Structure 1
Amino acid sequence: MNNVCETTVAGRKLTVEFGKIGMLSDAAVLVKYGDTVILVNANASEKPREGIDFLPFSVEYQERLYSVGKIPGGFIKREGKPSDKSILTARAIDRPLRPLFPKGYRNDVQVVCTVLSVEQDNLPEILAANSASIALCLSSIPYSEPVGTVSVGMVDDNFVINPTVEEREKSPLNLTVSATRNRVMMIEAGGDEIPEDIMYDAIMFGFEECKKIADFQIKLMEVMGKEKKEPICFKVDEAIEKEVRDFAFDMVKEVMYITDKDERNQKLDTVKEKIGEEFNEKYPDNLLDIADVVYRMQKEVVRNMLLNENRRPDGRTFDEIRPISCEVGLLPRTHGTGLFTRGMTQVLTVATLGALGDVQIIDGLGAEESKRYMHHYNFPSYSVGEVGPLRGPGRREIGHGALAEKALEPLIPSEEQFPYTIRLVSEVLSSNGSTSQASVCGSTLALLDAGVPIKRPAAGIAMGLITSEDLSHEEILTDIQGIEDFFGDMDFKVAGTEKGITAIQVDTKIAGLSKECIKTAMNDAKKARLHILGKINECIPAPREELSKYAPRAYTMSINPEKIRDVIGKGGENINKIISQTGVKIDIKEDGTIFILSSDKLSADTAIQMIENVTRDVVIGEIYLGKVTKITNFGAFVEILPGKEGLVHISQLDFKHINKVEDIVSQGDEILVKVTEIDKQGRVNLSRKDAIKESANKED
């Protein structure tokens, strides 16, 4: 039986169909918003997965290029591995849903969002987030807390829900809010230096709309929802828990009060060994129970320390930032480098400048087709003192790299101001809390060191949260380190400049954040950001005036747009000739602007001269030094400018009568010729006699 329900979001119809397709999935919903259509399938395993201590929940966001009428590029004409955009979307859908599953639920749960049709005014990623919540709520999976998601823009100082393409182009704010009927679950934001009070109001504006979408999902559950299965939740044997706690709680508490991280970890390993010696043989089938008890004892001690004793594990006050150091110019051959260290978190960012043709080509569902500014982030296992395989970037690396990229994007100079493609790579050298925000700081240093004229320096910080069980008591932490992130309730990352916020990413492990928490976290983050910006300014107060001697130089020239085809030549013959002879890189814009990139000024000047020659008009009466390209019985063809030839009739080769053209010139000779005529068909007639005569007169 097919069930259909409708509502309105931002003045546009949202339609949910359930029961028509995907009959074998626990829940399969087809959700339409305008002409954007998403299919979401939700399924869960019958039994919990053995031997794990987490919820095995996965969200997949599948882009189908047919949804925008495209055929995939490259040799393999089908979709391959997920794009960065699809990975980021899947992460954004996952984050608000994961904390709302029953605690201890360890069945495999998979939500697959497939994009079937896209109307650019209605973003598929926003619809997919809502559809994922709808599918889980309608399924028999023990999940029943609806989450609404909206995009918020700002046009003419007014907030707009789910802005259209035209509105997004005008908006200095790109905000995504996910929330239940009671609390905000997730925030993802990019902005052009948005003040904290405006960002807060925008979040609350989105929150109100999320409530309406959540209320709609409640009605859907009443009309078409399946009966929920009773969850099988992991629970430790009470007798084992009591034994382990009686034996080890005091030892664990003593260790967790050690402020030095290395010493604390070493002592904790010793305590775990003692616990293992005491209980592993006695309870060989309950090792997961024992590990869970140890984990919860650590968590209990740390949270009590923070919430009730106003003490942090490393002894800092709640608003205190760890010691910071900034360095630039570390690597001699790179174009720019920045080393940022905050406590035991350390990131090295390297900036590389390239030609505009080095942009990243995007084969995706959006209107954007290329990127000239890129940020990539690497998190090797040695950064946390561990051994592990070195593979390509995972979801975490892609997510953290995108966040830092978003933080700096509004500050990157325009193509006209700085005609380079810019790539930043952040190498995490040591990790103990918020490497993504450290990479924002390291990237700012690297850009300044590379001489990139960014609008202003940016910095980032991560805020944390500890709450009581009933959520009535909460404490905000500035600059959280690893242990506070691990045992805490929130990771609230804020990046920006002295003027405002450029990026936010917030996720939580509890049933959402209060309004007071959001406001306090943003205001405290601003104080911390200004402190870090002061350290950056002490290190390098402005972009370097000169680029690295190893960085290529960009030269700009303009030509008549109608001459672009002359520069390119037939089949690219002319431009390839210029590039091969000079070694430069050339990018041509539709308006006739030409960018030339070269590490050698002489090569660049030569390329510019060659382009000028190609685009020069042949003028009647001017004398040119040309090259004989072809000989016929009636004359010689001479190339006077690149790609432009004229005919010297046999009668115009010499003052005396000649029988054969070869008596005067041979193919490949360079001769002076004068333009005597350009006929209506554009054919050029030349005279060697007139050129010789005029040259002789000038000498006299």
Structure 2
Amino acid sequence: MDRNTALTALNMKKTTVSVVVGEGLDARMIEIETGYLAKQANGSVVVRCGETFVMSTVCDGDPRLGLDFFPLTVDYREKMYAAGRIPGNFFRREQRPSEHETLISRLTDRPLRPLFAPGYKRDTSCQSVVISFDGANEPDVLSMVGVSAALCISSIPFDGPIGAVRIGLVDGKFLVNPTCAQRGNSVLDLIVAGTNDAITMVECGAQEVTEAVMVDALMLAHREIKKVVAAIKELVAKVGKPKMQIEAPVESPWVKKIAAECSAEIKTALLTKNKAARYAAVKAAKVAICARYLAAVSGDDAAKAAAKSEIEGAFGDAKDIVFRDLILDGKRV
């Protein structure tokens, strides 16, 4: 029995899609494959560019009632073995994530978190591990693409996909996903993530490039992101699982009431100049507002405890509404 026959018998059929980002001699082919590794995960892919491989997996836990936050964990890890090396210092075991790994984990979390279905509160773990690094193609952006693809083909209610690219600028020419050597000569290091419709995350370091150059770089990044998004959608069409159905939460009537009656008080607290003083002012406003509304609630201790929890949650939503209005009015908070 040959290898392909054996894999088919084990239900390990590999499905691959590819996308080319960039143009001309600097074009890069990215391949996304699934069905071969991490079969027990809800969704798993391996993303390849050159000889750099990143495996991304996503898993979810059982529902947890009463959570007022979304327990999402995104973890990106680079191991020395991926580059064929062994740690040579006193600490031969690799331990906590490095600063770079933590940064990439956060860059991945930011564009993903708002796209999960409202009301979805399961423990969700997104893990990316660099399997191989060829010394030329950076694995960090591949990890962001991989997590997005893994979520999309899983049953987790994720309203993606997102794509991600890095833009460099060498000798006045834009490069998409530049190599390590090209990044050393680049005056721009721009990482952009987004959906088919909009850019959702930007992280940048640059040597004083002009505003016009930045706009052109962002426009180029979004065009390339659309290619990545199309490739992930192609993969979903081939192997995507049906999404679990989540009942959308009903908005508390306290949200509109607090936003309408207490917006001036919340706005004053948010516009406090000093950061520590602002946090204290918002906390004081929350205590005062919640106490006023809770005083009008009748019932036993259990009813009042439930009302207190609901009012405090509604205050957070109302504060977000006021915060957004301030930004749209051109006021920096």
Aligning the two structures, in what range does the TM-score lie when normalised by the shorter sequence?
Answer: 0.7 to 0.9
Q: Distance in 2 between matches of 1:264 and 1:144?
A: 32
Residue 253 of structure 1 pairs with residue 269 of structure 2: no
How big is the shift at 1:41? Answer: 0.8
Partners of 1:7 and 1:13 within 8 A in 2: yes
Partners of 1:249 and 1:297 within 8 A in 2: yes
Larger % of strand: which? Answer: 1
Q: Distance in 2 between matches of 1:159 and 1:189?
A: 14
Larger % of helix: which? Answer: 2
- Among candidates 304, 310, 322, match of residue 289 of structure 1: 310
Partners of 2:119 and 2:246 within 8 A in 1: no
Q: Distance in 2 between matches of 1:217 and 1:61?
A: 20
Partners of 2:44 and 2:56 within 8 A in 1: yes
Q: Distance in 1 between matches of 2:91 and 2:240?
A: 41
Residue 121 of structure 1 pairs with residue 136 of structure 2: yes
* TM-score in terms of structure 1 length: 0.41
Change (3 A) 1:247 1:98: closer
- Among candidates 80, 83, 105, match of residue 95 of structure 2: 80
How big is the shift at 1:18? Answer: 1.1
Q: Distance in 2 between matches of 1:301 and 1:290?
A: 16
How big is the shift at 1:281? Answer: 4.5
Partners of 1:51 and 1:288 within 8 A in 2: no
The corresponding residue for 1:541 is: none
Query: What amino acid does structure 2 have at the position aligned with 1:298?
Result: K
Change (3 A) 1:102 1:158: same
How big is the shift at 1:216? Answer: 1.0
Query: What amino acid does structure 1 have at the position aligned with 2:14?
Result: N
Change (3 A) 1:286 1:46: farther
- Among candidates 48, 54, 62, match of residue 46 of structure 1: 62
5+ long unaligned stretches in structure 1:
307-464, 467-474, 482-700
- Among candidates 258, 266, 274, match of residue 292 of structure 2: 274
The corresponding residue for 1:330 is: none
How big is the shift at 1:302? Answer: 4.7
How big is the shift at 1:181? Answer: 0.8
Residue 67 of structure 1 pairs with residue 79 of structure 2: no
Q: Secondary structure at the match of 2:123?
A: strand
Matches within 5 A, 1:481-630: 481=333
* Bigger CA radius of gyration: 1
Q: Secondary structure at the match of 1:297?
A: helix
Partners of 1:153 and 1:171 within 8 A in 2: yes
How big is the shift at 1:46? Answer: 2.8
Q: Secondary structure at the match of 1:194?
A: coil
Q: Distance in 2 between matches of 1:277 and 1:90?
A: 43
How big is the shift at 1:252? Answer: 2.4
How big is the shift at 1:168? Answer: 1.7
The corresponding residue for 1:138 is: 153
Change (3 A) 1:63 1:256: same
How big is the shift at 1:9? Answer: 2.6
Q: Which has the higher contact order (CA 8 A, sep 6+)?
A: 2
Partners of 1:137 and 1:145 within 8 A in 2: yes
Residue 220 of structure 1 pairs with residue 238 of structure 2: no
The corresponding residue for 1:603 is: none
Partners of 2:55 and 2:130 within 8 A in 1: yes
Partners of 1:39 and 1:115 within 8 A in 2: yes
Query: What amino acid does structure 1 have at the position aligned with 2:266?
Result: M
How big is the shift at 1:37? Answer: 0.3
How big is the shift at 1:277? Answer: 3.9
Partners of 1:105 and 1:234 within 8 A in 2: no
The corresponding residue for 2:6 is: none
Cα RMSD (Å): 2.4
Residue 5 of structure 1 pairs with residue 26 of structure 2: no
Q: Secondary structure at the match of 1:92?
A: helix
Q: Distance in 2 between matches of 1:172 and 1:197?
A: 15
Q: Distance in 2 between matches of 1:97 and 1:245?
A: 25
Q: Distance in 2 between matches of 1:212 and 1:121?
A: 22
Matches within 5 A, 1:371-410: none
5+ long unaligned stretches in structure 2:
1-12, 273-277
How big is the shift at 1:85? Answer: 0.8
The corresponding residue for 1:404 is: none
Residue 20 of structure 1 pairs with residue 32 of structure 2: no
Deviations, residues 552-603 of structure 1 (Å, cap 9, x unaligned): xxxxxxxxxxxxxxxxxxxxxxxxxxxxxxxxxxxxxxxxxxxxxxxxxxxx
Sequence identity percentage: 29
Q: Distance in 2 between matches of 1:128 and 1:40?
A: 7
* TM-score in terms of structure 2 length: 0.83
How big is the shift at 1:267? Answer: 4.3
Q: Distance in 1 between matches of 2:159 and 2:261?
A: 40
Deviations, residues 219-277 of structure 1 (Å, cap 9, x unaligned): 111111111111244435xxxx34x4697566523522536556665344222223334
Q: Distance in 2 between matches of 1:250 and 1:13?
A: 52
How big is the shift at 1:290? Answer: 2.7
Partners of 2:266 and 2:285 within 8 A in 1: no
Structure 1 stretch displaced more, 164-173 or 90-99: 164-173
Q: Distance in 2 between matches of 1:246 and 1:185?
A: 27
Query: What amino acid does structure 2 have at the position aligned with 1:170?
Result: N
The corresponding residue for 1:299 is: 320
Q: Distance in 2 between matches of 1:91 and 1:214?
A: 20
> What count of residue pairs does the alignment treat as equivalent?
306
